[in-house]
């Protein structure tokens, strides 16, 4: 094969990976392709209908390109192969490919094909089409059996700032229950830790507000001593509670119901309740202050209910 002809084939490929049909469209006979991909040939058939224009070991990127070509024009990488394209080193050897449920493709060699009713919009990472980072990492976690590996994968994407806990929780809730137990457990742990961090941020932020002293994590009881709730913050002079919403109450119906009932008990006892998301503490501090001040003014405008602190730690 002359140099100019080889250059034309390489230019038609993606990093040296090309469909057999593309080679035929460029004028190569099937027999010529088969000969070059045979024993001792200079090329290799990496997947059915997909050729690598060398006979060495394909790189991870070439394997991902081959998987997408095999999957079709609307295929997307997900799982660990997509995470690799996003720049994360997460253990995984197979290429996980999403295709619409209306199509069918046979899993083969190193390619795991998943037909899905929830085909996401793709994100381009160079020449690779990938599922959004939330879908990619959770698809990887659904196939894991190690809590440590799952925790590592989720923590890395969060630490780099590519997504948020809320976005991961929402994606997990929207997807199939298959394989969701492990990532749900790990997200619950991460949410609890994030809530602790959010409480510390809230305490620091509140010190800059010109509002009365707030008590941290008190047990609030009724006049008869019945437990009502343990809010994150409490202004005792006017019986006002401040709650930092934990993502944990989004993790299950039981957690959500517990949150709703706790707030219902406080409201039923006449307690003024102000709530914020952890993200608002850093993104909207002025709004947080304004809403706390408005809540305090409302609390001042009504008789103080007969509720008391049982035990507390001052902010």
Contact 66, 47 (CB under 8 A): yes
Query: How far is Cα 309 from Cα 223, in angstroms, rounded to an integer?
Result: 10
Report pLDDT digits (tens) over 223-258: 999 999 999 999 999 999 999 886 655 555 666 778
How high is the mean pLDDT of the chain? 90
More confident residue, 314 or 10: 10
pLDDT at 18 over 80: yes
DSSP codes, 41-106: -SSEEEETTEEESSSSPPPHHHHHHHHHHHH-TT-EEEHHHHHHHTT------SEEEEEETT----
Instruction: List, for residues 38-83, the tens digit of each pLDDT value.
Output: 999 999 999 999 999 999 999 999 999 999 999 999 999 999 999 9
Q: How many degrees, rounded to 5, is the angle at CA 49 between CA 47 and CA 50?
A: 55
Q: Are 216 and 178 in contact (CB under 8 A)?
A: no
Top mean pLDDT of 3-12, 70-79, 211-220 is at 70-79
Lowest-confidence pick of 116-125, 181-190, 247-256, 258-267: 247-256
**Which pLDDT band, with edges at 50, 70 and 90, does 93 fall under?**
confident
Q: What is the mean pLDDT of residues 105-129?
A: 95
The confidence score (pLDDT) of residue 312 equals: 47
The more confidently predicted of residues 137 and 89 is 137
Q: Give residue for tokens 């390109």.
A: 65
Contacts of residue 40, defined as CB under 8 A and 6 or more positions apart, other chains included, come to none
Q: What is the pLDDT of residue 57?
A: 94
Question: Would you say residue 311 has pLDDT above 70?
Answer: no
Dist CA 269 CA 177 (whole Å): 39
């Amino acid at each position: 094969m002359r140099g100019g002809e080889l250059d034309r084939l390489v230019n038609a490929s993606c990093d040296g990976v090309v469909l057999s049909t593309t080679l035929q469209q460029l004028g190569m006979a099937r027999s010529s392709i088969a000969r070059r991909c045979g024993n001792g040939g200079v090329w290799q058939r990496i997947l059915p209908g997909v050729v690598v224009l060398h006979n060495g070991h394909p790189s991870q990127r070439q394997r991902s390109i081959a998987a997408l070509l095999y999957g079709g024009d609307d295929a997307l990488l997900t799982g660990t192969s997509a995470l690799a394209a996003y720049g994360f080193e997460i253990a995984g050897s197979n290429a996980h490919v999403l295709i619409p449920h209306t199509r069918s493709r046979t899993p083969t060699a190193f390619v795991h094909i998943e037909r899905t009713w929830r085909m996401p919009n793709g994100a381009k990472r160079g020449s690779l089409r990938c599922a959004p980072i939330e879908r990619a990492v959770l698809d990887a976690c659904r196939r894991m059996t190690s809590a440590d590996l799952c925790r590592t994968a989720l923590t890395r994407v969060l630490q780099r700032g590519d997504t948020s806990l809320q976005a991961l929780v929402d994606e997990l809730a929207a997807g199939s229950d298959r394989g969701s137990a492990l990532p749900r457990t790990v997200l619950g742990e991460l949410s609890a830790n994030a809530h602790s961090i959010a409480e510390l941020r809230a305490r620091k932020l509140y010190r800059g507000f010109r509002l009365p002293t707030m008590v941290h994590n008190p047990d609030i009881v009724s006049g008869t001593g019945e437990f009502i709730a343990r809010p994150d913050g409490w202004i005792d002079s006017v019986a006002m509670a401040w709650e930092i919403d934990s993502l944990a109450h989004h993790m299950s119906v039981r957690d959500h119901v517990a949150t709703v009932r706790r707030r219902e008990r406080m409201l039923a006892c006449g307690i003024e309740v102000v709530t914020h998301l952890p993200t608002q503490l850093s993104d909207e501090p002025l709004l947080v202050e304004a809403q706390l001040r408005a809540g305090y003014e409302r609390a001042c405008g009504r008789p103080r209910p007969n509720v008391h602190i049982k035990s507390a730690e001052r902010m």
